[in-house]
Amino acid sequence: MCPGNSFIFAEKSKSVSIELIQNTLLKDNFSREDLVILLGADEEGRKLLFEKAAQVKNEAVGKKVYFRGLIEYSNRCAKNCYYCGVRSGNKKVARYRMTDDEVLEAARFALENHFASIVIQGGELFTQEHIQKIGELLLKIKEMSQGRLGITLSLGEQTEETFRYWFECGAHRYLLRIETSNPDLYRKLHPANILHRFETRLKALEDLKKIGYQVGTGVMIGLPFQTLDDLAGDLLFFKNFDIDMAGMGPYIEHEETPLYQYRQLLMPRINRFYLSLKMVALLRIMMPDINIAATTAMQTIDPQGREKALMVGANVIMPNLTPVKYRENYLLYQDKPCIDEEADECQRCLEARIYMAGCEIGWDEWGDSLRFKRKNPSQINEKP
C-alpha cells in the first residue's frame, strides 16, 4: 500500500466495532493503540467520540469562546517549507509587510470591539531589524491599549534571546506548530539544511516554555506520507510536552509547493476534515483545560467547519483583522476563505457562527489557558 492510502482505508473501514469504540472511550488514559482505534472510527463511532468531547469541554472550560484578532503581519519568510504557499522559493507571491500604523489600527479595532486579544502572525525572519521591529510594535500596542490587549505571537523559530526580548516587550502567548512529531515525516516536509531541523523546532518550544510563555503548537492533518499512527503520536506529544494551547487543522495543498506533486496520495478533503475534528475532540478529552483553536482551514473544506470544531472541543476563534489588500498574498494554502471580508464583516460572521454552535463569546477577556493558570497562578490575567 502506498503511503497515504492508509488514511482513506482507516476513514472508510467498518472493522472497528462500535463496542470497541465505546469501551475505549471509557478509559481514563489513551494508549497510542487506543488513539489509532479512535482516529479510525467510522461515522457512528465518531459521533460517540464527538459527544464525549463536547461533554468534557462543557465541564472543563464551559461554553465561552475567546476571540483572537488575527494580524497577518508579513508574508516575507526565510524558510522554504515544502507545503507552504509563502515559502521563500515561491516567486509568484507579492511580498509585503504591514506598516506600524496598519498594525496599530488593527489592534485598536480589536480593543474597541472588545476582543481583548490579538495574534501577530508572519513568516520566519531572523534579522536584527525584524526582531527589533516586532519588539517596538509590542511596546506600542501595550501603550496604545494601556496593557488591556493580550498578545500572542506566531513568528516561527527564533533564538532564546529573541523569545525573551519579545516576552519582555509584552507578548505572553506563542504559537509554534510542530507540524508533525515524527522526525522522519518532518524531514519529508522541509529541505535538508540547517534552517529546517526538527531538533531546532523542539528546542524552540522548550525555550518558550522556560521563558514563561503560554505555549501553543499543532500539526497538519492529512499530509502525504502521514499515517494514523503518526497522528496518535502527535496527540501524545502534546500531552507529554504539556502544551497550553493548540492550533491544528486539515492539510490543504497549494499548487506552488513541492509537496503538491504528491497530491494523488491524499485522502479526499472531506475525510481530512472529519479526521481533523477527531483530533480536536481527542485532544479536548486528553487535555480538558487547554485552549484549542477552531482554525480557518476547517472552514475551507466545510462552510460550517469552525462551528463544528467548536461543538467538538475548540474554544478559540480568530477573526481576521489583516487589511484586505494584503490577504490574497498570505495564502499558506489554496482556497482560503474570507480573504475579501473587512474586519467588521468577519467579526459579525464569526459572532453568528459562535452562537449557532451553542456557545457564547468571552468579551473583554484574555481567555488565558486554564491549564497554564493552574501551573502558574501568579502569571494569569483574568481580565485585562
Query: Sorting pLDDT into bands at 50, 70 and 90, what band is 225?
Result: very high
Which pTM value belongs to this model?
0.93
Task: Note the CATH number of domain 5-379.
Answer: 3.20.20.70
The pLDDT of residue 11 is 42
State the pLDDT at residue 144. Answer: 98
Mean pLDDT confidence for 363-384: 82
What's the chain look like in SS3?
A: CCCCHHHHHHHHCCCCCHHHHHHHHCCCCCCHHHHHHHHCCCHHHHHHHHHHHHHHHHHHCCCEEEECEEEEEECCCCCCCCCCCCCCCCCCCCCCECCHHHHHHHHHHHHHCCCCEEEEEECCCCCHHHHHHHHHHHHHHHHHHCCCCEEEEECCCCCHHHHHHHHHHCCCEEECCCECCCHHHHHHCCCCCCCCCHHHHHHHHHHHHHHCCEEEECEEECCCCCCHHHHHHHHHHHHHHCCCEECCEECCCCCCCHHHHHHHHCCCHHHHHHHHHHHHHHHHHHCCCCEEECCHHHHHHCCCHHHHHHHCCCCEECCECCCHHHHCCCCCCCCCCCCCCCHHHHHHHHHHHHHHCCCEECCCCCCCCHHHHHHCHHHCCCCC
Using pLDDT thresholds of 50, 70 and 90, give the confidence band for residue 339. Answer: low
Q: How much is the mean pLDDT over the chain?
A: 92
Residue-level pLDDT at 49: 98
pLDDT tens digits for range 344-353: 777 778 788 8
Domain ranges across the chain: 5-379
pLDDT per residue as tens digits for the range 159-190? 999 999 999 999 999 999 999 999 999 999 99
- Residue 4 has a pLDDT of 39
